[in-house]
Amino acid sequence: MIIGLLGFGTIGAGVYEIIKERGAAEVRYVLDIREIGIPELTHNMEDILADSEVDTVVEVMGGLHPAYEFVTAAMKAGKSVVTANKYLVATFYDELIALAKEMGVAFRCTAAVGGGIGWLTALEKAKRAERITALEGIMNGTTNYILSNMKEKGLSFETALSEAQALGYAEADPSADIDGLDIMHKVMLSANVAYDVSVKKEELFVAGIRTITDEDVKAFGEKGLTCKILGSAFENDGAVAAFVQPTLLPADSMTASVPANFNLISYEAEHSGKMSFFGQGAGRYPTAANAVQDCLDLAAGKKEFYTNESKQIALSNDKVSYRYYIRTTAKSAKALCKEPFGPGYLTEKMSVAEMQAAMVKIKAEDEKVFIAALAE
């Protein structure tokens, strides 16, 4: 296998090191705009596209552009693609799968969800034998680090976020993490693979943790609850629900106990029950190792994507219901607030779709609103 590596940041450097160490493939080109002092460096994507011996392109640049243009050009040049870019794959899901099939090349993105966990390959194998009824878990290490430290150390959100940034867990602009967008892309890919569908981004309900306060967290702890932000998807009789939301869990539950920047993702299968996957959800070597494993699968002859179908569906978030904790000054939320709970209130049981619709009005009045589902 001869590889053209796109990007030499944190993950790209890890891919380069692991492949060099293992000697299982050749990295012939590394595309980067910087002068990074390695002999494989090129500044021109055309060098990779024009080399007929390069059979695989590994994209770890991140972002949509020029990653999209480079990945599609690679496929059209007959080269298989491995990527860790969940934003790219979720945004252009149908197009990329169709193009890979049309060009007869392989397309894999295991490192895009769960970093080093190998979550998508686990779903791929499980669904061959039985129906996946649900998937849920902590899919973002940055937000888990923030919430864990708010609870364990009594930190404010701002202080916990600053610590995460200082350690390199959170970006200078942490919006994708704290607003739930990173998890949204991971839930989309997970649901698509598990249920052979193509979820539309605009239909997902996404609630983040930007507005959580230490007073909220203290009140949850006094009730024996821990707040985690979870990505979830459920399937029943062909109806699929998918959403991202802070969730209040019993403090002694397995998910509530996940520390620091770790991930814990689980699926519920029809016959084998619940299976959970714990590990580093990000980081240079865990994520890079999964990208390299994808390359080695391709070298061993694996060509298929994780699913052969992508049915176009509308989400059924009206099929899943919770009681919600809500803290807001919005008058439009008054009818929802049924029971005092710390600095906020609990609602009666309502569907995710109902909360999704309510939040549109509430946010227009109160940008600092915070909600969390109460796990049953």
Q: Known catalytic residues?
A: 186
Specify which residues 312 forms β-bridges with.
Answer: 198
Identify whether the C-beta of residue 165 lies closer than 8 Å to the C-beta of residue 171: yes
Identify whether the C-beta of residue 147 lies closer than 8 Å to the C-beta of residue 156: no
Rounded distance between C-alpha atoms, residue 370 and residue 363, angstroms: 10
Rounded distance between C-alpha atoms, residue 220 and residue 342, angstroms: 8
Rounded distance between C-alpha atoms, residue 178 and residue 161, angstroms: 9
Scored b (16 or more CB within 10 A) or e, 69-91 reads ebbbbbbebebbbbbbbbbbbbe
Rounded distance between C-alpha atoms, residue 271 and residue 53, angstroms: 45
Q: Is 318 exposed, middle or buried (0-12, 13-18, 19+ CB in 10 A)?
A: middle
Residue with token string 């499980």: 126
Residue 66: cis peptide before it, omega within 30 degrees of 0: yes
